[in-house]
Amino acid sequence: NAGVTQTPKFQVLKTGQSMTLQCAQDMNHEYMSWYRQDPGMGLRLIHYSVGAGITDQGEVPNGYNVSRSTTEDFPLRLLSAAPSQTSVYFCASSYSSRVAYEQYFGPGTRLTVT
């Protein structure tokens, strides 16, 4: 199993450009999430999905869109990149659990917006 894969590994965008960060998992997990990680702030939830066709907002959703057409894929779209979106982005997946939602993380995408 590859686990959770993310592409690209690094990306540089100019302000105003759009792009899609790709995420895929081969563990048949129902739950998938996108987080951003900034220095001194831990991981903050952007969007999440509890199954194909179902998505919801997390803590910091503005400027990002998601869709979940299949169980395996959960792309994150930046509509119009801003310097404030410079960050490291992690995709994670999780099996369903009533108590614990243990996350399996991808390797991350380091995004710089100039």
Partner 1 sequence: TQLLEQSPQFLSIQEGENLTVYCNSSSVFSSLQWYRQEPGEGPVLLVTVVTGGEVKKLKRLTFQFGDARKDSSLHITAAQPGDTGLYLCAGAMGDYKLSFGAGTTVTVRA
The residues binding partner 1 (CB under 8 A) are 4, 31, 33, 35, 40-45, 48, 50, 58-59, 90, 92, 94, 98-108
Give min distance, CB of 78 to partner 1, in A.
Answer: 19
Which of residues 80 and 107 has its CB atom nearest to partner 1 in the complex?
A: 107
Helix (H, G, I), strand (E, B) or coil at 83: helix
Give min distance, CB of 113 to partner 1, in A.
Answer: 20
Say whether the peptide bond before residue 8 is cis (omega within 30 degrees of 0).
Answer: yes
Which of residues 15 and 95 has its CB atom nearest to partner 1 in the complex?
A: 95
* Cα separation, 57 vs 52, whole angstroms: 15
Give min distance, CB of 23 to partner 1, in A.
Answer: 11
Helix (H, G, I), strand (E, B) or coil at 85: helix
Which of residues 69 and 96 has its CB atom nearest to partner 1 in the complex?
A: 96
DSSP assignment of 32-59: EEEEEE-TTS-EEEEEEEEETTEEEE-S
